[in-house]
């Protein structure tokens, strides 16, 4: 199978059998897991004892061979097996008189290069990009451009809503409040970089959710740390961050055009309710397995967390918003911090939330678990706390929501062999999600306070990235496992939020520079799904198991087939979002 290799163990020792155990290199402080018993060789027939086992190829393994007599350790081998490889481990004595045992690993059949499909897909997409660039160059030729425009007659769609998670649409505001009628005719400049940022995060998320070609490195880390994908763009953290940025811009726009705070609060409450409802009823259940049932309905989820986070952060901004942000008329004792100091009540509120998270995480007594436990449970921590997955975070979810109403297959179940349900979108982690959105809110305030001052905006993005990076380095001690608070996506630890915010500020800086400052990139194709993010996210979940997003494969153990299917499905959502954009169709909440 994928991510596996065949290991044939040959025992040429006549006197004793062997016990083979393995330990994954990604499993921190874990117990060795028994793989097979290899019988002793038959000396009279000169026939060695054999056993065939499947070994994991995702991470390096440590193989441990113990003799059945006295359970003595005979040898220990560290090796990173290759996918679909065929190996032999020969155990024998060096001579008939010596008691020294040798363990030789032999490659019978070399592993395949499972990364070639990724290279091929990269070349295909680069070819498509080259064709588009050449086509754009041809479009600069007047006769060609005039002919194409005459044939296609495209409609301009530059005037659009701000964002699904950050701003009400224009028609809603006009119909609900007769005062800002000029809104419908005023030309509003839109930051394409925000939609590009959102769309980039969304498309990578869709690809990963569809399977990522069944490559292990496209999956989330089993517990502590982060994989390549989460370093580039993890859905929820990036989406939450840019949602906070959009909240700042959209609320400022609504209030500037005369909407009352009471009406804006009503819109905030309605949108939060719709997001939570979408997450529970539409995205959550798998209707292919039968009708919706409360008995095993998962209550937490991505949209549920987004909805609640939006409610808290938007209400917090609405409550303490200050007039004059865009005009720069706000007075501050320290001009360099005029985008921070006037909002000190918001910072006090966020710090209080973080204090609550720290107290619950490290001081709440959890039955059968050490206080402040942050581990995965299972076979981790040498198997001492098998039912303590997630510590206080898991305990609170199981206590308040019930075991059947949270996620049943956490990422820790594979490597750490956990049996307890644990929800990565649980209650306690939502506190730090609010913190992440608040940092995105700060990015929006920077854009408002320093409008059209590109150097000021980019320098502040960079400073915030450095500050978040320093905090992460302190909390983690620059290590994966040994820090005060390790980076952990499942727990949504503070260090995870500061690390993802560090990357988010840098990524937003780069996209803002390329798209809105220098205009070297239009943001395509990520701009289009960024404009219809709720539709793309909900659609990719609802139609995940339907053609043309999924079909029956000839070889389910082929990375190439899985990668083709997942990339096709992801590309289809980009095409759909582009077509909707051209027809000015946007699903807004």
Report whether the peptide linkage leading into residue 85 is cis, meaning its omega lies within 30 degrees of zero. no
Retrieve residue 82's tokens: 């290759």
Q: Which of 59, 71, 61, 70 minimizes the C-alpha distance to 35?
A: 61
Alpha-carbon distances, residue 443 vs 24, 343, 351, 439, 512 (angstroms): 41, 14, 18, 7, 12
Local structure of 124: helix, strand or coil:
helix
Q: How far apart are CA 119 and CA 188, in angstroms?
A: 42
Contacts of 84 (CB under 8 A, 6+ apart): 4, 5, 111, 112, 114
Sheet holding 61-67, edge to edge: 33-38, 18-24, 61-67, 73-79
What residues form DSSP beta bridges with 7?
53, 87
Phi, psi for residue 299 in degrees, rounded to 5: -80, -50
List, by residue number, the catalytic residues: 220
Local structure of 573: helix, strand or coil:
helix
SS3 content of the chain, % helix, strand, coil (to 5): 50, 10, 40
What residues form DSSP beta bridges with 89?
9, 105
Q: How far apart are CA 195 and CA 217, in angstroms?
A: 27
Neighbours of 31 (CB within 10 A): 16
Q: Which of 479, 480, 486, 439 minimizes the C-alpha distance to 463?
A: 439
Q: Are strands 61-67 and 101-109 parallel, antiparallel or unpaired?
A: unpaired
Q: Which of 57, 62, 70 minimizes the C-alpha distance to 103?
A: 62
Q: Which of 285, 339, 283 minimizes the C-alpha distance to 306?
A: 283
């Amino acid at each position: 199978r994928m991510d596996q290799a065949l290991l044939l163990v040959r025992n040429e020792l006549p006197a004793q059998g062997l016990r083979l155990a393995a330990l994954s290199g990604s499993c921190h402080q874990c117990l060795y897991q028994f793989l097979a018993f290899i019988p002793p060789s038959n000396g009279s027939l000169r026939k060695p004892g054999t056993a065939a086992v499947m070994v994991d190829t995702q991470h390096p393994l440590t193989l441990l061979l113990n003799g059945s007599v006295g359970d003595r350790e005979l040898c220990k081998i560290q090796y990173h097996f290759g996918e679909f490889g065929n190996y032999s481990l020969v155990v024998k004595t060096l001579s008939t008189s010596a008691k020294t045992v040798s363990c030789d690993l032999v490659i019978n059949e070399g592993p395949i290069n499972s990364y070639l499909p990724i290279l091929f897909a990269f070349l295909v997409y680069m070819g498509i990009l080259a064709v588009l660039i050449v086509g754009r160059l041809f479009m600069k030729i007047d006769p060609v451009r005039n002919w194409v425009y005459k044939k296609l007659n495209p409609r301009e769609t530059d005037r659009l809503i701000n964002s699904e998670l950050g701003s009400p649409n224009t028609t809603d505001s006009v119909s609900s409040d007769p005062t800002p009628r000029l809104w419908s005719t005023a030309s509003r400049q839109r930051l394409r970089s925000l939609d590009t940022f959102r769309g980039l995060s969304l498309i990578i998320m869709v690809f990963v959710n569809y399977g990522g070609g069944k490559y292990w490195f496209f999956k989330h880390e089993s517990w502590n740390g982060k994989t390549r994908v989460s370093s580039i763009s993890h859905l929820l953290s990036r989406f939450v961050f840019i949602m906070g940025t959009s909240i700042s811009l959209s609320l400022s726009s609504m209030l500037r055009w005369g909407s009352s705070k009471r009406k804006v609060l009503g819109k905030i409450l309605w949108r939060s309710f719709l997001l939570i409802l979408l997450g529970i009823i539409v995205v959550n259940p798998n209707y292919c397995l039968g009708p919706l049932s409360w008995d095993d309905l998962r209550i937490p989820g991505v949209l549920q967390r987004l909805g609640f986070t939006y409610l808290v952060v938007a209400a917090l901004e609405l409550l303490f918003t200050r007039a004059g942000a865009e005009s720069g008329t706000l007075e501050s004792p320290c001009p360099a911090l005029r985008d921070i100091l006037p909002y000190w009540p918001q910072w006090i509120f966020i710090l209080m939330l973080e204090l609550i998270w720290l107290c619950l995480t490290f001081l709440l007594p959890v039955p059968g678990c050490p206080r402040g436990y942050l581990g995965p449970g299972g076979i981790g921590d040498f198997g001492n706390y098998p039912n303590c997955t997630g510590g206080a975070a898991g305990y609170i979810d199981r206590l308040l929501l019930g075991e059947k109403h949270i996620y049943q297959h956490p990422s820790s179940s594979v490597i750490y062999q956990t049996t307890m349900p644990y929800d990565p979108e649980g209650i306690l982690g939502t506190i730090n999600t609010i913190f992440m959105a608040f940092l995105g809110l700060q990015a929006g305030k920077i854009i408002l306070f320093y409008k059209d001052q590109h150097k000021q905006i980019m320098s502040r993005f960079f400073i915030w990235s450095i500050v978040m990076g320093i905090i992460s380095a302190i909390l983690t001690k620059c290590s994966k496992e040994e820090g005060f608070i390790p980076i952990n996506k499942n727990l949504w630890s503070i260090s995870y939020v500061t690390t993802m915010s560090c990357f988010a500020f840098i990524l937003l800086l780069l996209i803002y520079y390329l798209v809105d400052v220098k205009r070297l990139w239009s943001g395509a194709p990520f701009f289009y799904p960024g404009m219809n993010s709720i539709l793309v996210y909900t659609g990719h979940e609802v139609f995940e198991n339907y053609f043309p997003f999924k079909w029956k494969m000839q070889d389910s153990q082929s990375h190439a087939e899985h990668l083709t299917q997942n990339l096709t499905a992801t590309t289809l959502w980009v095409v759909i979002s582009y077509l909707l954009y051209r027809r000015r169709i946007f699903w807004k909440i």
